[in-house]
């Protein structure tokens, strides 16, 4: 089993120097091993592809975000790393939080079943159980948000353990004696309309290098990042969210998800919450249009805290461009796939969805973004198909 260099400080993540550019994910000086007494928290919606086909992707996104906010509210006083995966999440926690996080996860799982009739799989894997390391870094997105970066293979292994049918009963959260599941979901918001792509389309992309060594894989990832930058640009031009296209929603379909999170049972309380959300959005619209400078700049703050590019034992990003750009990038990725250097999957949308964690209205917040009709989940499906195709070809050789 993996035994990383001991780090006794539960806030080791807070002390990490942040990367300033995505291509620095290949620089090992920015990474530290997770302490052996930490835990990997995994969540994902079971049969998410079927739910997406039913038009329920906004709800699927919401369950992954709910996991993260529930753990973050338990972890007050700690800075902990997390990655949003579309239909789930990966979070790392110190041992001191284990019991309270277990309680929160089980409460979110219950909420998913009761309010949305979704099966949310949750698990907690001791880092000491992993055969591969988890190396953690962080990418500076804005003064208010650092995006966690996971390398080494350990996070992917933890996900496999939680999803394994033979180990299903090994890693579920365990309640401490005499306690009940409790989750604080304060900060979870879902109040924006689906956002039209900055250009013609938004591409949700996942790339996993398949070389023999970590150094070779780093070379593959650096090549892909450079290809994305050469094709889509190096700055705001590839960002999937544009300020002029951001609009608060008053529509029932857009606000119902948040209402169901906080008001599980249908009835007058949920109805009242929906109308309260509309009033809050009306106030927000007025403040962003006629309020002070801080409020008039609020959409720009949101833009700076969108998690549109990340690394979680694989490169994940949502970029906006046109079909010509996409074909150029896909041709480059296909060449790498045919050479056995990587596998990839992508999904094209004309809108993106944004699910928000807002802890300070003009400060600490993060906005999870994904393609509006499948995004990362559909990209993962395409990636899996390519992986199976490669495995089949090898068997037939």
Question: What pLDDT shows up at residue 4?
Answer: 36
Q: What is the tally of structural domains in the chain?
A: 1
Which comes out higher in pLDDT, residue 2 or 221?
A: 221
- Give residue 77's pLDDT band: very low, low, confident or very high (50, 70, 90): confident
Of the candidates 157, 136, 33, 24, the one whose C-alpha atom is nearest the C-alpha of residue 83 is: 136
Let me know if residue 264 belongs to a domain.
no
Assigned token pair, 115: 């309010």
Residue 6 has pLDDT above 50, yes or no: no
Let me know if residue 175 belongs to a domain.
yes
Q: Per mean pLDDT, which range of 25-34, 242-251, 388-397 is the poorest?
A: 388-397
Question: What pLDDT shows up at residue 364?
Answer: 84
Assigned token pair, 134: 């988890």
Residue 193 has pLDDT above 80, yes or no: yes
Q: Per mean pLDDT, which range of 7-11, 62-66, 321-325, 377-381 is the poorest?
A: 7-11
Residue 5 has pLDDT above 60, yes or no: no
Give 83's Cβ-side CA count (13 Å radius): 26
Q: Per mean pLDDT, which range of 51-55, 212-216, 268-272, 328-332 is the poorest?
A: 51-55
What residue has token string 């509309």? 278
Let me know if residue 235 belongs to a domain.
yes
- Give residue 168's pLDDT band: very low, low, confident or very high (50, 70, 90): low
Q: Write the secondary structure of the chain as one string of H (helix), E (strand) and C (coil).
A: CCCCCCCCCCCHHHHCCCECCHHHHHCHHHCEECCCCCEEEEEEECCHHHHHHCCCHHHHHHHHHHHHHHHHHHCCCCCCCEEECCCEEEEEECHHHHHHHHHHHHHHHHHHHHHHCCCEEEEEEEHHHCCCCCEEEEEEEECCEEEEEEECCHHHHHHHHHHCCCCCCCCCCCCCCCCCCCCCCCCEECCECCEECCCCEEEEEEEEECCCCHHHHHHHHHHHHHHHHHHHCCCHHHCCCCHHHCCECCCHHHHHHHHHHHCCCCCHHHHHHHHHHHHHHHHHHHHHHHCCHHHHCHHHHHHHCECCEEEECCEEEEEEECHHHHHHHHHHHHHHHHCCCEEEEEEEECEEEEEEEECCCCCCEEEEEEECCCHHHHHHHHHHHHHHHHHHHHHHC
Question: What pLDDT shows up at residue 371?
Answer: 93
Helix 252-262, helix 98-116: angle, nearest 10? 130
On whether the CB atoms of residues 301 and 234 are closer than 8 A, the answer is no
Let me know if residue 251 belongs to a domain.
no
Let me know if residue 26 belongs to a domain.
yes
Let me know if residue 176 belongs to a domain.
yes
Mean pLDDT for the chain overall: 91
Let me know if residue 293 belongs to a domain.
no
Let me know if residue 195 belongs to a domain.
yes
Question: What pLDDT shows up at residue 267?
Answer: 92
Q: Which domain holds residue 39?
A: 12-244+300-396
Question: What pLDDT shows up at residue 144?
Answer: 78
pTM reported for the whole predicted model: 0.92
């Amino acid at each position: 089993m993996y035994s990383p260099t001991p780090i006794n400080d539960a806030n080791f993540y807070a002390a990490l120097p942040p990367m300033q550019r995505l291509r620095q994910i290949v620089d090992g000086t920015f990474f530290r091993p997770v302490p052996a007494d930490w835990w990997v928290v995994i969540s994902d919606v079971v049969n998410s592809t079927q739910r997406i086909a039913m038009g329920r992707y906004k709800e699927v996104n919401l369950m992954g975000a709910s996991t993260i906010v529930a753990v973050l509210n338990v972890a007050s006083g700690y800075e902990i790393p997390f990655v949003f995966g579309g239909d789930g999440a990966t979070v790392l926690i110190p041992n001191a939080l284990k019991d309270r996080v277990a309680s929160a996860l089980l409460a979110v799982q219950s909420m998913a079943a009761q309010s949305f009739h979704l099966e949310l799989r949750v698990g907690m894997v001791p880092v000491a159980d992993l055969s591969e390391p988890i190396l953690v870094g962080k990418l500076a997105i804005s003064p208010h948000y650092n995006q966690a970066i996971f390398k080494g293979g350990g996070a992917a292994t933890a996900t496999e353990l939680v999803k394994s049918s033979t180990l299903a009963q090994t890693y579920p959260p365990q309640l401490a004696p005499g306690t009940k599941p409790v989750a604080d979901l304060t900060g979870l918001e879902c109040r924006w309309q689906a956002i039209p792509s900055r250009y013609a389309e938004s591409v949700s992309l996942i790339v996993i290098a398949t070389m023999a060594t970590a150094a070779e894989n780093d070379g593959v990832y650096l090549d892909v990042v450079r290809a994305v930058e050469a094709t889509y640009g190096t700055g705001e031009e590839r960002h999937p969210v544009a300020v002029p296209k951001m609009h608060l929603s008053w529509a029932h379909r857009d606000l119902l998800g948040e209402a169901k999170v906080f008001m599980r049972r249908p009835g007058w309380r949920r109805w009242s919450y929906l109308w309260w959300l509309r009033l809050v959005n009306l106030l927000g619209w007025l403040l962003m249009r006629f309020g002070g400078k801080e409020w008039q700049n609020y959409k720009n703050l949101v833009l700076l805290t969108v998690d549109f590019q990340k690394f979680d034992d694989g490169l994940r990003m949502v970029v906006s461009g046109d079909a010509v750009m996409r074909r150029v990038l896909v041709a480059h990725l296909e060449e790498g796939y045919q050479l056995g250097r990587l596998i990839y999957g992508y999904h094209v949308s004309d809108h993106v969805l944004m699910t928000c964690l807002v802890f300070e209205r003009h400060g600490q917040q993060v906005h999870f973004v994904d393609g509006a009709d499948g995004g990362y989940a559909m990209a993962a499906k395409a990636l899996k198909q390519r992986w199976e195709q490669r495995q089949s070809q090898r068997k037939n050789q």
